[in-house]
Structure 1
Amino acid sequence: MGFQALFIGGIKSGKSKNAETYTLKFAKQKPLYLATTEFFDDEMHERVQKHKDQRADKFETLEESLNLDNALQKQNKTVLVECVSMWINNMLYHNKTLEEMMTQLENISKQENDVIFVINDVSNSVISENKLVRKFVDINGIISQYIAQHSKEVFHVTAGISVKIK
């Protein structure tokens, strides 16, 4: 099957808003917003609330921080997965491996849903001295490449502007 689209960009680049607009235009019925964030502090609650306010009631919302493939298996609609980087963070926090992450993505690619993904582009930075940060950046890059390869369309977002690169 493959994936429909990937929106990749830096933090606060406008990728979420662009992905939401794309999803709403693409979907034939009210789409599902699959939220992946686990709440670690008050600042994360504020960020999530801004996203909720932004999308209003245009999406159905499902929160799932780890088992994306299982959550999507029960759906029969267009799905926006926001955000893959947070999902990777959660998976690492819960001691999951890259192989477990890739298995979930492979399972999702075999499902009937049209899936739009949002992921942070963390590749334009210096190499961190922190081992866990390096692992996160490496896995985020591997997963973004996999999703891009299997997506029909890929958009890079900077300063709120979405540019189609595939």
Structure 2
Amino acid sequence: MKTLFIGGIKSGKSKAAETYIKKISDSKPIYLATTEFIDDEMALRIAKHKEMRSDSFITQEEALDLKEIISLQKAPVLVECLSVWINNMLYHEHSYEEMQMQLAEIMQLKQNIVFVINDVSCGIIPQNKLAREFVDLNGKIAQFVAQECDEVYNVIAGISVQIK
């Protein structure tokens, strides 16, 4: 089964996805963290997230090649988060086609996978080109993943509503 949790920043989507994957798992699930250590503030966020997860997950870290890591796992995998992965892929000059191809291959894997992505579609159009490219790609990837997933949940103010 493939599941997507989408919501705005600090909407509670990560917590909802973590609760969900723990309920569907017979064993300790994999937490696939996509964040790259880029500055001190990000390091603090990462440390806080690790502390909140405590011993509930087996953490794997991968910024680019999600398929490789997921394909090696036996337990369900929580991908946290696709928006950060898109940012990483853009930073490392990967195309939308490469992102979509990797995700299409991931969707063919047999594992239960839970994806988290930010909904950036309700904001203003950014002034700089890179930010506009990110917003556009995030929206396209969200649509693609939602189409491929068995279940999709929208999370607002910590309330998760199944929309597919």
Contact 1:76–1:112 at 8 Å: present in 2 too?
A: no
Aligned with residue 128 of structure 2, among 121, 127, 130: 130
Match of 2:12 in 1: 14
What residue identity is the alignment partner of 1:48?
I
Match of 1:84 in 2: 82
SS of aligned partner of 2:150: strand
- Stretches of 4+ aligned residues off by more than 4 angstroms: none
TM-score for both structures, normalised by structure 1: 0.96
What residue identity is the alignment partner of 2:5?
F
What residue identity is the alignment partner of 2:102?
Q
What residue identity is the alignment partner of 2:63?
S
Match of 1:96 in 2: 94
Matched, 1:44 2:54: no
The structural deviation recorded for 1:57 is 0.7
What residue identity is the alignment partner of 1:136?
F
Contact 2:4–2:145 at 8 Å: present in 1 too?
A: yes
SS of aligned partner of 1:38: coil
TM-score for both structures, normalised by structure 2: 0.97
Aligned with residue 109 of structure 2, among 108, 111, 116: 111
Match of 2:60 in 1: 62
Q: Percent identity?
A: 57
Contact 2:67–2:106 at 8 Å: present in 1 too?
A: yes
Alpha-carbon distance between aligned partners in 1 of 2:152 and 2:45, rounded to the nearest angstrom: 25
The structural deviation recorded for 1:45 is 1.1
Match of 1:157 in 2: 155
Aligned with residue 53 of structure 1, among 51, 65, 75: 51
**Count of matched residue positions in the alignment of Structure 1 and Structure 2:** 164
The structural deviation recorded for 1:77 is 1.7
SS of aligned partner of 2:137: helix
What residue identity is the alignment partner of 2:123?
S
Alpha-carbon distance between aligned partners in 2 of 1:43 and 1:12, rounded to the nearest angstrom: 16
